[in-house]
Amino acid sequence: MQLTNRSKQVADTKMTWMERIYLPGIIKGMIITFSHIFKKKPTIQYPEVQRPIAPVYRGQHVLKRDDAGAERCTACGLCAVACPAEAITMVAEERKQGEEKLYREEKFAATYEINMLRCIFCGLCEEACPKEAIFLTDRIVPTTYLREDYIYGKDRLVEKMDHRVDVSKRQTNNLADFKNNSSKAHNKTI
């Protein structure tokens, strides 16, 4: 019984003598192979040679310090809430007396971790941050064999003062204007 009319008659014609000796097919294949010898090689010798990446590429995160060297992050948790991959976790603590130079605000992240295996580098944490603290850079997260090596803590996220990262190219004009606006509360120190 025929249920649909989509069935096709499969061709069952006999191969010709030329097809049976396979020679034309082999010659055709060799021509294609040799033609590639003279073409520009698409292989990049990574990591010695690296492809240019787009100015808006989103790579490894940094937690930025302010100009005086204090950590900007106030552990508000907005980045974690905005993260669609649930890649960010943190533990907040209250700043003690004498720690004003270390932490910009009264509350800070004692622990801050990003799971780079979960992260999809969408940049929503950067957009959500009201303190201009977290940014994605043009750095590629290096591969490793151990899962725990992909959990980036503050030791790898907090930007060292002698290694500032220029993230201006990473931002859209609107975001850069908003974040650089000194009249906005997010740029004021408490």
Told to check if 123 binds ligand SF4 by CB under 6 A, we report yes
CA contacts within 13 A on the Cβ side of 26: 6
Residue 59 in contact with ligand SF4, rule: CB under 6 A: no
Distances in whole angstroms, Cα of residue 6 to Cα of each of 2, 9, 44, 130, 169: 9, 10, 46, 59, 55
Minimum distance, C-beta of residue 62 to ligand SF4, in the bound complex (Å): 10
Can you tell me which of 77, 93, 154, 165 binds ligand SF4, judged by CB under 6 A?
A: 77
Closest contact distance (angstroms) between CB of 112 and ligand SF4 is 7
Dihedral sign for Cα atoms in the order 137, 94, 66, 100: negative
If the CB atoms of residues 131 and 179 are measured against ligand SF4, the closer one turns out to be: 131
Q: How far apart are CA 155 and CA 108, in angstroms?
A: 15
Residue bearing tokens 């033609």: 35
Among 60, 62, 65, 73, binds ligand SF4 (CB under 6 A): 73
Q: Which of 70, 124, 141, 165 touches ligand SF4 by CB under 6 A?
A: 124
Instruction: Pull the structure tokens for residue 21.
Output: 């000796």
Q: Does 87 bind ligand SF4 (CB under 6 A)?
A: yes
Residue 134 as a binder of ligand SF4 (CB under 6 A): the answer is: yes
Could you say which DSSP state residue 72 is in? -
Pick from 78, 157, 158, 167 the residue near ligand SF4 by CB under 6 A: 78
Could you tell me if residue 183 is left (phi over 0), alpha (psi between -120 and 50 degrees) or otherwise beta? alpha
Amino acid at site 41: K
> Does the footprint of ligand SF4 cover residue 119 (CB under 6 A)?
yes
Interface with ligand SF4 (CB under 6 A):
73-79, 82-85, 87-88, 90, 114, 119-125, 128-129, 131, 133-134
